Amino acid sequence: MKKLYPVILLLISAQAFAQSTDLKAIAAKKADSMFTQTVAWRRDFHQNPELGNREVRTAGIVAAYLKSLGMEVKTGIATTGVVGVLKGAYPGPVVALRSELDALPVTERTPVPFASKVTTTYNGQTVGVMHACGHDSHMAMLMTVAEILSSMKSQLHGTVKFIFQPAEEGVPVGEKGGAEEMIKEGVLENPKVDVIFAQHIFSYLPAGTISYRPGGALASVNDMKIIIKGKSSHGAEPWFSVDPIVISAEIITNLQTIVSRNINLKENPAVVTVAAINGGTRHNIIPEKVEMLGTLRAMTDADEQTLKTRVTEIVTKIAEANGATAEVYIPYSVHYPATYNDPALTAQMLPSLRQAAGADNVLLATPMTVSEDMSYFQQKVPGLDVFLGGMPKGGDPKTTPSNHSADFFIDESVFPLGVKTLCNLTLDYMAEKTK
């Protein structure tokens, strides 16, 4: 019997790989046949967007659908998160697949008939709400994957956890949410996740392509709030003031030297951006205070610390030199680590990507300075986040509206490729672990 045991294991392994190939072919056909349904889900989510920690309708639709597929479903995780567990008929690894739920405070300008007309109050202002980063597409594709893999339950070697995460774009000050909070509430346990996969659609990457990058793929993010306090006076008598507007201008100019003089750009990119400045109420009154908001992006922990240190030094020293005081908050409300794709896992799954898109359409990406809280999951378990091209054929990446834009637009014809990609990653990883 001992001599037969290795033979039995070899037969099981060969059977699993053969089965994986067959299941991927079936999944590819179903991805194509479900295209209309995937588009319908996406357009419904797009027309009815909800901000982070307020995705009540969105989460309800996702949860109800996963339950209809016979999954064990948990809701209310990290406020509005949803997790569905699909247990295959055979033992094997636990594969997590993750999508976001939330939209952005952006007023949509696209001419599509399903454009969002939703408005809300955000930071005291009335703004539109829009899926301007593709999360509606991510949800629709993952729901399609859930149906396809559920139909294969009797042949799956392992378990799939479908994680629908709220508040990827951040939560209001004082609230908790996102991937970090889901982890704290045990989303990677019971059953314990072995690996996590995700994909993100980008409007300026060519449709039909999948991009990947081992190691640091997306930047860390720290938002910042800077408060400069001076002395108010009449605008006609500035010598009585300590002008926080002039001081802020000097600070903003000097902050731009951090990336050019303190970061080795041959190794990694970095970004220091001041995106909002608020101070004053009238043309002839120098205000007492100016507030600035901005973002810091880095690809390594060391560069992230350099940015934080230098911003604090420059702001406080310039304020002090001009007779003002400064308060610096980094992070103010949002911090995500760099998104790190496990190099060994990336190499292992590269054939799966190539089979889904074709070898010529799988591209090595350059580092991107956008950020993703998928990074928190990847700090706990090996993970791979790949990038799906959504730019229509013939588009120019230099002029195509980017993610987070009011004109953000993606080519829905790429949805079957996104579905096939997640199915391939899941099925091939399961097959590999049955060796």
- First CA to last CA across the chain, in angstroms? 20
The residue whose two tokens read 């911003």 is: 311
The residues near 297 (Cβ < 8 Å, ≥ 6 apart) are: 219, 220, 221, 269, 270, 271, 273, 369, 370, 371
Query: Catalytic: 301?
Result: no
Query: Catalytic: 108?
Result: no
> 23 near 102, Cβ under 8 Å?
no
Candidates 102, 243, 288, 373; catalytic one:
102
Candidates 168, 223, 304, 428; catalytic one:
168
Token couple for 163 = 């994680």
**How far apart, in whole angstroms, are the C-alpha atoms of residue 18 and residue 249?**
65
SS (H, E, C) the chain: CCCHHHHHHHHHHHHHHHHHHHHHHHHHHHHHHCHHHHHHHHHHHHHCCCCCCCCHHHHHHHHHHHHHCCCEEEEEECCCEEEEEEECCEEEEEEEEEEECCCECCCCCCCCCCCCCCEEEECCEEEECECCCCHHHHHHHHHHHHHHHHCCHHHCEEEEEEEEECCCCCCCCCCCCHHHHHHHCCCCCCCCCCEEEEEEEEEEEECCCEEECCEEEECEEEEEEEEEECECEECCCHHHCECHHHHHHHHHHHHCHHHHHHCCCCCCCEEEEEEEEECCCCCCEECCEEEEEEEEEECCHHHHHHHHHHHHHHHHHHHHHCCCEEEEECCCCCEECCEEECHHHHHHHHHHHHHHHCHHHEEECCCECCCCCHHHHHHHCCEEEEEEEEECCCCCCCCCCCCCCCCCCCCHHHHHHHHHHHHHHHHHHHHHHCC
**Which residue numbers are catalytic?**
102, 168
